[in-house]
């Protein structure tokens, strides 16, 4: 039988893939923070994910009503994220994502 390792041991050892995953997760967390900071509190609470790839900012929200409201703030969000991250946001895409269990 193979010697099993705990999750904390695997994370501590790291590796190239894990390092890339950790870097990407940290970047996405920073983007979510910037998106939320550009919004009123109630609307910011609806944002559950955000990512920036190739100039497209994709924002995940918990419901269609929040997605509709968020569409009115896309210009403000794009400017804020561009300024804070130093990366151009060319388009903003809003997606409804299933709520976390």
CATH of the domain at 77: 3.30.300.180
**What are the backbone angles phi and psi of residue 40, rounded to the nearest 5°?**
-60, 155
pTM score, whole prediction: 0.80
69 vs 15, residue with greater confidence: 69
In this structure, what DSSP letter does residue 4 have?
P
Residue 15 CB neighbours (<10 A): 10
In this structure, what DSSP letter does residue 11 have?
H
Please tell me the predicted confidence (pLDDT) of residue 31. Answer: 93
Please tell me the predicted confidence (pLDDT) of residue 100. Answer: 66
The range of the structural domain enclosing residue 47 comes to 28-96
Helix, strand, or coil (residue 18): helix
1 vs 47, residue with greater confidence: 47
Flag whether pLDDT at 83 surpasses 90: yes
The domain total for the chain is 1
Flag whether pLDDT at 9 surpasses 80: no
Please tell me the predicted confidence (pLDDT) of residue 72. Answer: 93
Residue 63: inside a domain: yes
Residue 78: inside a domain: yes
């Amino acid at each position: 039988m193979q010697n099993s390792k705990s999750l904390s041991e695997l994370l501590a050892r790291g590796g190239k893939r894990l390092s890339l995953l950790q870097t990407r997760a940290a970047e996405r967390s920073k983007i979510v923070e910037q998106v939320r900071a550009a919004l009123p509190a109630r609307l910011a609470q609806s944002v559950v994910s955000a990512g920036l790839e190739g100039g497209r900012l994709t924002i995940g929200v918990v419901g269609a009503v929040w997605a509709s409201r968020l569409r009115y703030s896309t210009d403000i969000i794009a400017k804020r994220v561009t300024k804070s991250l130093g990366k151009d946001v060319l388009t903003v895409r809003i997606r409804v994502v299933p709520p976390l269990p």
